[in-house]
A = this chain, B = another copy of it.
Amino acid sequence: MIDQLLQTPELARRINDLLTFYGMAHAYRSGLEPGPLPPELDDVLSELQPYDIALVLEALPEPSRLVLLYVLEPQAAAEALGYLEHDQQYRLLDHLPERTIRAIVAVMPSDALVDLLGAIHPNQAQEILKRVPLEDVAQVKELLSYPEHSAGGLMTFNYLSARTEWTAAQVIDHFRKVAQNVENVNYVYVVDKAGRLAGVVSLRDIILAAPGVKVAEIMYAKVISIHVDADQEEAARLLSQYDFSAIPVVNHNNQMVGIITVDDIIDVVEEEATEDIQLIGGTEPFDKPYMQAGIRELFGKRIGWLLVLFLAESLTGSIMRSYESVLSQMIALTFFIPLLIDTGGNSGSQASTLVIRAMALGEVTPKDYFTIIWREIRLGLLLGAVMGLVAYGRALFMGGSMSLGLTVAFTIIMVVVVSTTAGATLPMIGKRIGLDPAVFSAPLITTIADGVGLLIYFRMAQLIIGIGG
């Protein structure tokens, strides 16, 4: 039920009351073992999902947060922590008793732990790393070595694997032993003696199989996998294309090193879309929720592009000054300038956002480039023709001469064609030279359209109206 989300404050109050009533805060402060929870408290806590516990943690006063983490099962505490901001996670962990920290860190999913370590100060990460169980340290350090936005940075070690020679019954026995540490139970990954990925079989097929059947006989040998260095967008594309709930990650020897689960992919898909939308809106991407970014941070992310665009746009001032005599001979020309440059900007913005999004979704491959440009040229002509006609009407309606109307109309047609073509072409060139296509988005295209539009406009005025200058 969704209602419970709305009830977080009451829930937090109730849990806070229970913690106080049963002397948990006292136990926490005096360093006593929490021991078995009073049934009333246990009933409330055991029915909460980790995400709900995270909401409760945020709603509790700071000291009670620590008490709650202290009394929770380490598994529940670890999973709930994973939903909080990284600095918040660290602050809470850092204040807990040594024993509790160790218990929580030991059961944190490896991807969540690595995300935390990568996001906090190296000294703080060092402190946490000291509490990681010795047998896991090497793996965690390996995960830390992968770039944040690579498949390696996204993967977790908590998967289910089996050896080719095992039987279905052996796999189920093995599963019973490790099940608590597995993030995805849909697939069993099959590896050979050297740890190379040899196949995949669904847990469903293992359960359905006769107990004595060898894994090698029922597995898919042609596994879709992703290289540990691949970009996270590649992982997102594979998972969403194949509708898998997890994908295995391999190194250059085809040895299996982890899995990426679909719940992390949703975050990637949302993150990538957010980044593109921020760029399309002319803001440098930032990876915090808007409400959590400070004024100073937002200022920093926004002023840069505003200045760049301002400087580029300054060119329009120079263009206009060089046509000062044309303007002064016919002030009415200026009436149409905002209209002209905005129509150019709008049509360029349509083309660039459509192409940027199609590229982000992997719908466009380099061999489509010329098709796209040719489409946008034709669209520019069609859209420009309609807009030019309307603009001609508007110019006459404002009492302009027919030659002014023609000047405005032809300029619009040309500006729209230039804008749609540039809007489609620049993101593709950007990708070609290794930039994020979303950089070439509406604001930049608009600026280019403005300069080009004014040049066309004044030339047209000289040509059609016959103004010298």
Contacts and interface: CB of A to CB of B under 8 A. Distances in A.
Contacts of A339: 310, 313-314, 316-317
Contact of A353 (B240, B283, B307): B283
A355 B281 CA distance: 11
Chain A residues touching B, majority SS: helix
Contact of A336 (B317, B336, B338, B391): B317
A253 B379 CA distance: 52
A298 B372 CA distance: 12
Given A269-B269, A352-B281, A398-B321, A51 B243 contact: yes
Contact of A243 (B185, B263, B321, B335): B263
A390 interface: yes
A268 to B, nearest CB: 10
A216 interface: no
Interface residues of A, number: 124
Contacts of A370: none
How many protomers of this protein does the assembly include? Answer: 2
Interface string A338-371: 1101110111011011111110010110001001
Contact of A175 (B47, B207, B334): B207
Given A240-B267, A379-B299, A334 B337 contact: yes
A128 interface: no
A91 to B, nearest CB: 22
Interface string A170-211: 001001100100101110000000000000001110011000
A243 B267 CA distance: 10
Given A185-B204, A291-B364, 12 more contacts: A240-B266, A245-B262, A262-B266, A269-B270, A282-B350, A289-B358, A295-B379, A298-B379, A310-B387, A313-B343, A317-B338, A345-B443
